[in-house]
Chains A and B, each alone.
Chain A
Amino acid sequence: SQQGEEDPQALSIQEGENATMNCSYKTSINNLQWYRQNSGRGLVHLILIRSNEREKHSGRLRVTLDTSKKSSSLLITASRAADTASYFCATSDMRFGAGTRLTVKP
């Protein structure tokens, strides 16, 4: 069964805007990961945040983790058309949510 659940299911923004996606999970975790998947392709690992971390940055990506609320968020700043993809969170036992479909309009 899937563990993480992303919100919203779909997000459409203009190029240059920020995109925020949320993930909720059900059980205790050691870490949480975010992946990107372009249409019809495999998943690409974006960033991993450990359970003792609250925030992590990588380039234009910012991930937060709130273990008390069992939730995480992924922020993509200054979005580009090339960021158009589906984004998934996965818990440390590699259970994925249904994903957020992000569309960035040029």
Chain B
Amino acid sequence: DTGVSQDPRHKITKRGQNVTFRCDPISEHNRLYWYRQTLGQGPEFLTYFQNEAQLEKSRLLSDRFSAERPKGSFSTLEIQRTEQGDSAMYLCASRGPWDPPDTQYFGPGTRLTVL
């Protein structure tokens, strides 16, 4: 357990529904990352926050995806009008200001299944 928590751990939804995931990073970690991982593949970068500012977004993050970190602590990732291709594990990671560069602590992930 790295100290990064994600909720829910599993989500099953029907195509077209909206879903929202939450990530609680380690306390005082100012950097927060979202990744998507499909079966048999490595994680793919989605977006990155430093405090409340969203500094980078992957082109994978279509207009149906939105992420927020309003107070610089927890973050939410929302997917609107879900499609079957959105089925994946969504991973959150965080890093503190004094951690070695490029070292991230990953949460357990939220597994999304779109029927």
Question: Chain A interface (Cβ within 8 Å of chain B)?
Answer: 2, 4, 30-31, 33, 35, 40-45, 48, 88, 90, 92, 94-99
Contacts and interface: CB of A to CB of B under 8 A. Distances in A.
A96 B36 CA distance: 11
Interface of B: 2, 4, 33, 35, 40-45, 91, 93, 100-109, 111
Nearest to B44: A2
Dominant secondary structure at the A interface: loop
Contacts of A98: 40-42
B102 A31 contact: yes
A45 B102 CA distance: 10
A26 to B, nearest CB: 14
A106 B47 CA distance: 40
Which among B45, B105, B107 has the highest number of chain A CB atoms within 10 Å?
B45
Nearest to A43: B106
A45 B103 contact: yes
The 3 closest A-B pairs by CB, nearest first: A96-B42, A42-B106, A43-B106
Contact of B41 (A2, A30, A48): A2
Contact of B42 (A2, A30, A31, A92): A2
A104 to B, nearest CB: 19
Contacts of A30: 101-102
A2 B107 CA distance: 20
A33 B102 contact: yes
B39 to A, nearest CB: 11
A44 B106 contact: yes
Contacts of A99: 40-42
A43 B91 contact: yes
Contacts of B106: 35, 42-45
